[in-house]
Chains A and B, each alone.
Chain A
Amino acid sequence: MRIVLKHILRNIKEHKIRSLLIMVALSIATTVLILNITLPDEIILKIQETLRSVYGETDISISTVEPFNEIDLNLGNEEIDTLGMSTIQMEKKNGDAIGIYGFNIEDAKNIKILGDDVPLLQENEVAVSKKIADKSNYKEGEYFTVIYEEKEYKLKIAKIIENKGIASTTIDNDLFIANIKTVNNIKQIDENKYETLFINVKDDDKINDFKDYLKDNNDNYVIERLVDPDNIREEAAFINYIMILIFAMATIMIFFVISSLNKIILAERFPVIGTFRSVGANKKKMNFILVLENAMYGLVAGCIGSVTGNLLNSKAASLFINFEGVEMTKETTKMSPKLLVIGIVFAVLLQIFITIRAIIKTNRKPIKDIIFNTQSTRYKISKFKNIFGILLIIVAFVLNGFNTKSNIVLTLISLVSFIVGTANIVPIIMRGITLGIHNICKKLGFSTCNIASKNIGYNKMIISSSRLIVVAVSLMITIITVSSSFTNMINSFKFVTEGYDIIISGVSKTADNYEKLKKIDGIEEIRYLYYFADENTTYNDGKKFKAFPIIVGADEDMSYIKEYDYKMKDLKYDEALVDEKFAEKNDIEIGDTLKLEFESNEKEIELKIKGYVNSTYFSVQRDTIIINLDNLIDNLTDKPMQVQLKCSDDTDLNKMKDKAEKEIKEVGLKIQTVDEFLQAQSEQIGSIMSMFYVIIGLAIALSFIGIINNQIIGFMQRKRELAVLNSTCMSKKQIKKMLVLETVIANFISCILAIIGGVLSTEIVDKFMQGLSMYVDIAFDYKASFIFAGGVFVALLITLFVPARRLRKMNIVDEIKYE
C-alpha cells in the first residue's frame, strides 16, 4: 500500500501541469457548487446586515404625504420604540444642493440609526460624517449659509461624526444630520410632527403581525418592513436558479475537459501500469490504484474549491445586491465544516465518475499492448453511441415540448440530455462531412487536403477536440443569445419612452389628477400609458394562455406598436388587436371572439379580434392585446401605469423631478428621468449578465486547456506515423500543411456545428428563462453567434503552434528506429 501511495504522489509530481489543470477544473466545479449552496444565505445576510448598519434596530417605517404625528396613527398595544424623521433639501449659496435628516437625537441613538458620537444638536446646528466632510472640505465649528424658499439660514457644523448608521449613506448631495426641530422650523412644520416614523418592535417574532395590523388600521400610509428575510429569500430564489444553470453548464464543460486531460494522464501512465501488471498486480488492483490517484485529485481540488467558494461567496453575493448610496456590510457567513465535506465528496465523486470508464477500459487491454504502448489512434465509431446520442437529443426535445410549465428540473434534464447527446453524435457527423471533403479533394487532386480530411474523421484526438469545441461553443452561443435578448429587452424600453424626458410610475390616482403638471413651466406634453396584466388570465371559460397577456388601452396610434390591417384609434369599445406572435402561440385569429376573465379583480370582458400588431418594441415577449382605452378604464384599471412628461429642451430634468414631486405629493411615486429609468432597468439585468460572462470566460479557458492538450497527445500518438510518412512520401512541409489543414478543417466544421447546437439549445434555455418568469423573447442572434464562433475559430488557430513546434523538433530517425 505504501509503495502504491508513493507511486501516486510521484506521478502527480512528475506531471505537474496536467495534474494541476485537472485540479483547477475540479476546483472550479466545486467552487460553483459551494456558491450554489451558500449564496442565498449570504445574500440574505448581506442585505440584512447592510440595512441594520444603516437603520439600526428599525423594523418598520411609516410615511405619508403630509407631516404627521403618532396620535394620527393607530399603533395598537405592541411594545415598540419610535423615532420621527423629517428631511429637507436646500441650496448652498453656490447653488449646490444639500440634504438634512432631522431626528430627535436621543431617540435616534437609542434605536441605533445614529452612532453614539452624535452630540445633542441645538437649533441650527448640524453634524456631518467624516466621509462627506473630507469630500467637501467641511470643518468643525464652521458656519455656512443655505437657502430654502428664498430665505437664508446660517448653520453651524457642530461636529464631524463617524460614518455610522444613517450618516454612512451617501445621497446625490451632501448629507447632514440635525435636530428635527431645526428641519421642522425651516420647513414650517408643526414642532411635534415628522414625515417618516421609524418603529422598532421589541419582540422580533411579532414584526410581521404588527406590520399587518398597521396596514389594516392606517389607511393612506405607506407601511414597509425594512428587513424582511422572507421577502429577500424569495428574491434570492431567482438567483439560485441562475446559479443552478451556471453549475450545470460548468459541470458539463468540466466533464469534457477532464475526460480529455485524463486520456493524456492515462497514456503517460501506460508503461507504469504495464510494469505493475507484469509484476503481478491484477486488474482490480490497478483499477484501485488509478481510482485512488483520481480520488487524490478530488480531495485536493475539493478542499481548494470549498475554500475558494467560501472566499468568493461575499463578492458573488454583492454582485446581486444593489444598494444605492449605502456601504455594503463586510459581514459574511462562516464556512461550515459540513460544506468542506460536501465540496470534497463532490469533487472526489465527480473526478471518479469522469475517469472510471477510461480506467477500466485501459486495464482491460492486454499487458503486451500496454507495455509496448501500441495504442490505436483510430477513432472507432460505435453504433451504440450514435443511437444513444440521437435518442438523448430526441428525449431532450420531447421533454422540452412536454415541459409546458417550464419546470426547472425538467429543463435541466433536457439541457444535459441535449449536450451529452450532441457530444455522442459529433464523431459520426464529423466523419461524414470530412469524408465528403476527402472525396472532393480526391477528384480535384488536392493531395494534402485529401489525406488531411480523411484523417480528421478517424483520429481520436481530433474528434475529441471537435466534441469539446461543439459543446463549449454551443453553450457559449446559447448564453450570448440569452444575454443579447436581455439587451434587446432593455433597448425596447427606449421606444416606449421615446420623445419623453421624465417617467412617473407607481401612480395611484386617475389621469385627471396629473393634468395640473401642465401648469409647471417647461412641461410641454403629458402622455399616459395604460396597461393591465393579471397572471391568472383565462379565456373562453377557463382556457389558459401560453403566457398571460398584457392588455394595453389605446385611443390613438402608438409609435412603438405597429398596426397591420386595423388602426388602434379606430378600435370600438369591444374590439381588440392582438400581437401576431401571441395569436400564433394561442391559436387566435381575426374574427374570433375572446371572453377574457381576470382572477385578480374577477372581471370579464368580451372582445372581437379585428387585426394583428407587432408589439415587440412595447414588450419583447409580445404577449400583447390592444383594446379600446375606455373599455380598459371602465373595466380593468382607471389608473395609468406611467405618466410620461415631455419637457422643453433647456429644462434641468433633476429640478423638474423635484417640481413634479412637489406638485403631485403622492405616496409611493417614482419619478425618474428617462436615463435613470433605462439605467435602472439595465442594472437589474447587469448582475445576471456578469455571471453569464464569468461562465463564458471559464468555458473558454477550460476548452482552450482541453484542446491544447488534445493537440499535444494527438501529436505524441502520431509521431511514428508522421515519421513514416516523412520517410516514404511527404516532405516536412507537406506534413505541416497536413496537420494545419486537419486542425483548420476540423475546427471550422466544429464551429459551424456549434452554431447549429447553439440554435437548438437556445430552445431549451428559452424554457429555462420562462421558468424564471422571464418572458424574454429569446431570438437567436445569428450575427453575434457567427461573430463569436468566428472569433473562437481564429483564436483556436493559436493552438496550431503545438504541432508546428513539435514537428520542427521531431527527429524522424528516432521515431522510426526500433531496437
Chain B
Amino acid sequence: MSVIKTKSISKVFGDKKHETRVLEDISLDIEKGEFVSLMGASGSGKSTLLYLIGGLDKPTSGEVYINDQDINKLKDKKMSELRRKNIGFVFQFYNLVQNLSVEDNIMLPVIMDGRKEKDYKDRLDKILKIIGLEGKRKSLPSELSGGQQQRVSIARAIILGPSIILADEPIGNLDSKSGKEVMDLFKQINKEEGITILQVTHSEEAAEYGDRIIRLKDGRLE
C-alpha cells in the first residue's frame, strides 16, 4: 500500500504574465516504511514538492493522496488534524516555539489534539531517550545547540506516532557531526517505528541513508 501518492501534480507560481512553472507532471509513489531521499539542485522545486505533499500549499493541478485520502479535499480543521496525526514536519530552521521548554515543545501536538498529557508520559520518556536529551527536558530551545534543537523537532514530529515524516534539509544548517547524529536518528525511527520518511537533501552522504533516491531537475522527475 502506498502511503504517499501524487498524481501528475504541477505547480505554477505568479500570474499569467509572470508565471514560473516550478513543478510539472510529478507522479510518485512511496510505500509504507520506505526512507526516500529527494535530491536536486537549488531551486529545482524540492521544497515546493514537499510542502504540496504535506498540504501546506495546494498544487495548480493534480492530486495528492496521503493514506489514500485526497488531502486537497479536506477542510482547515481536518487538514490540521491530518498533519498533526499522520505527518511530522522537520524544517531546516525555526522549528521550535522559543517560549516553551523542550518537553512542552515535544508535547505540543498531544496538547493541541486535546489528549491527556499524562497518557503520553511514557512515550515522552522513551522519545527523549531516543533523541538523547533526557537531561535537557526542562531546557529552553535557546539553550540547545542546533543539532539538539533539530532532534527536539524530530521528537515532536513523532510523538503522536505519525505514518510519515517530511524533512526539508534537516541537517542543512548543522555541522557534519551533528548532521550524522540526526541522520542516525532518522534511520533508527524508520527502522524501529516503521515511519515512512521523505527527506529533501543536498548532501549525497545524507541521501545514502535512504533506501531510494528521487532526483528532481527543472521541475521534473529524472
Contacts and interface: CB of A to CB of B under 8 A. Distances in A.
A730 B112 contact: yes
B55 to A, nearest CB: 9
B92 interface: yes
A377 B80 CA distance: 25
Interface string B94-112: 1111111000100011011
A622 interface: no
A734 B57 contact: no
B56 A445 contact: no
A729 B77 CA distance: 11
B156 A728 contact: yes
Contacts of B97: 721, 724-725
B56 A378 contact: no
B98 A731 contact: no
Interface residues of A, number: 32
B92 A728 contact: no
A732 B109 CA distance: 14
B142 interface: yes
Main SS at interface, chain A: helix
B79 A729 contact: no
A2 interface: no
Contact of A728 (B83, B117, B142): B83
A159 interface: no
Given A451-B112, A727-B91, A734-B112, 9 more contacts: A377-B98, A378-B142, A454-B99, A727-B89, A728-B88, A729-B109, A729-B156, A812-B56, A818-B94
A501 B56 CA distance: 79
A724 B54 CA distance: 13
A376 interface: yes
17 contacts: A376-B98, A450-B111, A451-B100, A724-B91, A726-B80, A727-B54, A727-B89, A728-B84, A729-B83, A729-B108, A729-B113, A733-B76, A734-B112, A816-B56, A817-B47, A818-B92, A818-B93
B14 interface: no
Nearest to B112: A729
Interface of B: 47, 51, 54, 56-57, 76-77, 79-81, 83-84, 88-89, 91-100, 104, 108-109, 111-114, 116-117, 140, 142, 156-157
A466 interface: no
A729 B142 contact: no
Contacts of B104: 454
B108 A816 contact: no
A729 B84 contact: yes
A723 B80 CA distance: 12
Nearest to B100: A454
A502 B80 CA distance: 77
Contact of B99 (A442, A459, A720, A817): A459
Interface of A: 376-378, 442, 445, 447-448, 450-451, 454-455, 458-459, 720-721, 723-734, 812-813, 816-818
| Of B77, B81, B111, B113, most A-chain CB atoms within 10 Å | B111
A720 B94 contact: yes
B112 to A, nearest CB: 5
Contacts of A377: 98-99
Contacts of B157: 728
B85 to A, nearest CB: 10
Contacts of A726: 80
A731 B79 contact: yes
A378 B111 contact: no
A734 B91 contact: no
Nearest to B57: A813
A727 B93 CA distance: 13
| Of A723, A725, A732, A816, most B-chain CB atoms within 10 Å | A816
A730 B108 CA distance: 9
Contacts of A458: 99
B57 A445 contact: no
B111 A728 contact: no
Contacts of A723: 94
A732 B83 contact: no
A731 B56 CA distance: 11
Contact of B116 (A445, A454, A459, A813): A445
A731 B54 contact: no
A551 B51 CA distance: 85
Nearest to B78: A731
Contacts of B95: 724
A377 B109 CA distance: 22
Nearest to B97: A721
A721 B98 contact: yes
A378 B94 contact: no
The 9 lowest CB-CB distance pairs between A and B, nearest first, are A731-B80, A458-B99, A729-B109, A720-B94, A729-B112, A447-B111, A729-B84, A818-B93, A813-B57
B80 A376 contact: no
A447 B98 contact: no
| Of B47, B89, B91, B142, most A-chain CB atoms within 10 Å | B91
